[in-house]
Chains A and B, each alone.
Chain A
């Protein structure tokens, strides 16, 4: 039995979906123990009520105003983790989790397992599985400190439906850290999009350098994306060239996705790109080069010029209705 502290990730006063992946992990690792959720940040109270039906023993609210800074959150997370007698502290392995949790681990002198894809509980031992070497090896890591600090890969932990009920909420004391005086949140330039979030979408369509311009992303690829209600992603080359915003990058340096359907358009399939999408269920490649390494992972490969194939594909899918 293990008591787990889940640290919620907030955005606009709501918990992001990554929080649910951490909850899913908490339920497995708790092995009969309980989990609490620390809802920390601006709008914590509102976000906490949104999480009340997920089966937590209690919700801990820490209202901290202003934009997110690890320096402003880490001390409170560490104090709550220590004070509550938890054995595992967890969050999603998003940019948030990767920024905040190593700091929390250092405050707790605790071992960290980053971006895990699975956990195996055997009595008192917990083994965490991680993807390494751009997805080419799986390593099993064990931590030998009293508290384990763990971030989880969102695509690998499914929360299912909320069990319902109403977890009681209480406020926790905010711990102040002097380091925060030396860093200032200036702004968050949020990328506004009507499309589903990359990490959550059932269908992801990603474009690469083969698209050749931002206009082509818009005119050739996006109609297909919207016809399928998909999320838009990209290779690093496409992001670097400024065709799309950098937060759409998929791969070792970007986001890791595992949708039902992944369509790679004009993407060669470099090892670092594959690291971010090769767990997708069905993979389609559209590329004029039959030899492109994306073939290593593609289930279907349409050898064609994307500028003809993609509009035709959009039209054909519309026919399915």
Chain B
């Protein structure tokens, strides 16, 4: 299967409490933070790899392209995904100020067409902007169905995908026909969440919070894998933005200090008489 995985670089999501606002309040200052792949996209790459391999024989079953919209330095995160096992990269050069969900979705539509992708697998959200918008948008532009918040995938014998996805108050099961878009959540990297019909059904992937680590060999190979680097204008899309951020602020800090209580009795008494929540 030809799978496209759109990926974004984000400033270190585990240290997001260190992001700052610029002095004039109009931009985010991520100085001192490392750029990392959006964890949700890491899970998406892992999903694509699992769909496109026989894990018992290590045989590859298809091709995976990873695409990012961002500055030239974002090539580093693309290389990380190539080292995990993706085959090719597409880097569409643009500054963050030139991009919004709409332009990325339009751009991905163009990339998916050029790549003749049959499936787009992506994160359900970016860990910095948290819009959860690009996935269903690009699906709509392509006229494809989309499952969001995907937790598990079974490839059926006729090639349709049986999906379990997050829903309010439970889990929705859907059957989706390719070409399609999937946006994944962390559950998709649990040991038996993906059954591609080729890897033996009882195969268990290791328990992990992230996608697979790149091997040394993978890192060496990634250096030789092709990356198609081009400007946003090369996609031939309308690049007018539909939204923009004007101001940023830090949320008000929680007032007061933590009261370390010694006993259950003291806790109950304080919750009852001071906080008045019991």
B171 x A107 contact (CB < 8 A): no
B260: which of A71, A131, A245, A303 is its contact (CB, 8 Å)? A303
Smallest CB gap from B149: residue in A: A95
CA–CA, A295 and B135, complex, Å: 36
Q: Closest CB of chain B to A175's CB: distance in Å? A: 13
A188 x B172 contact (CB < 8 A): yes
Chain A window 125-145, contacts with chain B (Cβ cutoff 8 Å), 1 for yes, 0 for no: 001001111111111111111
A183-B241 contact, Cβ under 8 Å, with A94-B168, A137-B19, A189-B170: no
Chain B residues whose C-beta falls within 8 Å of the C-beta of A111 in the assembled complex: 100, 102, 242-243
Query: How many of chain A's residues touch chain B, expressed as a range?
Result: 35 or more
Q: Closest CB of chain B to A56's CB: distance in Å? A: 22
A68: which of B172, B185, B186, B242 is its contact (CB, 8 Å)? B172
Smallest CB gap from B177: residue in A: A182
B242 x A143 contact (CB < 8 A): yes
- B234-262 contacts to A, CB under 8 A, are 241-251, 254, 256, 258-261
Chain A residues whose C-beta falls within 8 Å of the C-beta of B132 in the assembled complex: 98, 102, 114-115
Q: How many interface contacts (CB-CB < 8 Å) are there between A and B?
A: 266
Which of A16, A284, A297 gathers most chain B CB within 10 Å?
A284
- A206-260 contacts to B, CB under 8 A, are 228, 236, 240, 245-247, 252-253, 260
- B114-133 contacts to A, CB under 8 A, are 124-125, 127-133
Chain B residues whose C-beta falls within 8 Å of the C-beta of A103 in the assembled complex: 136-137, 139-140, 146
B174 at the interface (CB under 8 A from A): yes
Smallest CB gap from A270: residue in B: B14
A300-B258 contact, Cβ under 8 Å, with A95-B167, A141-B243: yes
B216 at the interface (CB under 8 A from A): no
Chain B residues whose C-beta falls within 8 Å of the C-beta of A69 in the assembled complex: 174
CA–CA, A99 and B146, complex, Å: 9
B145 x A183 contact (CB < 8 A): yes
Chain B residues whose C-beta falls within 8 Å of the C-beta of A95 in the assembled complex: 148-149, 166-168
Chain B residues whose C-beta falls within 8 Å of the C-beta of A54 in the assembled complex: none
Chain A residues whose C-beta falls within 8 Å of the C-beta of B136 in the assembled complex: 70, 99-103, 106
CA–CA, A31 and B272, complex, Å: 40
A115-B166 contact, Cβ under 8 Å, with A67-B172, A309-B264: no
Chain A residues whose C-beta falls within 8 Å of the C-beta of B242 in the assembled complex: 109-112, 143-145
Chain B window 128-162, contacts with chain A (Cβ cutoff 8 Å), 1 for yes, 0 for no: 11111111111111011111110100000000001
Smallest CB gap from B247: residue in A: A140
Smallest CB gap from A274: residue in B: B17
A301 at the interface (CB under 8 A from B): yes
Query: How many of chain B's residues touch chain A, expressed as a range?
Result: 35 or more
A282: which of B149, B241, B275 is its contact (CB, 8 Å)? B275
Q: Closest CB of chain B to A251's CB: distance in Å? A: 11
Chain B residues whose C-beta falls within 8 Å of the C-beta of A246 in the assembled complex: 151, 166, 171, 187
CA–CA, A259 and B148, complex, Å: 27
B180 at the interface (CB under 8 A from A): yes
Smallest CB gap from A135: residue in B: B251
B16 x A133 contact (CB < 8 A): yes
A183 x B174 contact (CB < 8 A): yes
CA–CA, A186 and B172, complex, Å: 8
A138 x B251 contact (CB < 8 A): yes
A114 x B131 contact (CB < 8 A): yes
CA–CA, A103 and B249, complex, Å: 29
B167 x A188 contact (CB < 8 A): yes
Chain A residues whose C-beta falls within 8 Å of the C-beta of B174 in the assembled complex: 69, 183-186
| Stretch of A34-42, A44-52, A165-173, A313-321 at the chain-chain interface | A313-321
CA–CA, A124 and B175, complex, Å: 43
Chain B window 89-110, contacts with chain A (Cβ cutoff 8 Å), 1 for yes, 0 for no: 0000000000011100100000
Chain B residues whose C-beta falls within 8 Å of the C-beta of A105 in the assembled complex: 102, 133, 137
Chain A residues whose C-beta falls within 8 Å of the C-beta of B220 in the assembled complex: none
CA–CA, A107 and B249, complex, Å: 32
A161 at the interface (CB under 8 A from B): no
B169: which of A74, A131, A187, A247 is its contact (CB, 8 Å)? A247
B175 x A183 contact (CB < 8 A): yes
Chain A residues whose C-beta falls within 8 Å of the C-beta of B133 in the assembled complex: 102, 105, 112, 114
CA–CA, A228 and B271, complex, Å: 13
A299 at the interface (CB under 8 A from B): yes
Q: Closest CB of chain A to B26's CB: distance in Å? A: 10
B54 at the interface (CB under 8 A from A): no
A-B contact pairs, 20 of them (CB 8 A): A16-B168, A71-B146, A95-B149, A101-B136, A109-B242, A133-B127, A134-B13, A137-B28, A137-B249, A140-B248, A179-B143, A183-B177, A185-B174, A240-B187, A246-B171, A246-B187, A247-B171, A304-B264, A313-B268, A316-B265
Known interface pairs A133-B11, A191-B169, A191-B170; 12 further A-B residue pairs with C-beta atoms within 8 A, sorted by A's residue number: A68-B172, A69-B174, A70-B146, A98-B149, A114-B130, A132-B130, A133-B128, A136-B250, A140-B246, A187-B172, A261-B278, A300-B270
Chain A residues within CB distance 8 Å of chain B: 9, 11, 16, 18, 67-71, 74, 94-96, 98-103, 105-107, 109-115, 127, 130-145, 178-180, 182-191, 197, 203, 228, 236, 240, 245-247, 252-253, 260-261, 270-272, 278, 281-284, 290, 295-304, 309, 312-313, 316-317, 320
Chain B residues within CB distance 8 Å of chain A: 11, 13-17, 19, 21, 28, 100-102, 105, 124-125, 127-141, 143-149, 151, 162, 166-177, 180, 185-187, 190, 241-251, 254, 256, 258-261, 263-265, 267-268, 270-272, 275, 277-278
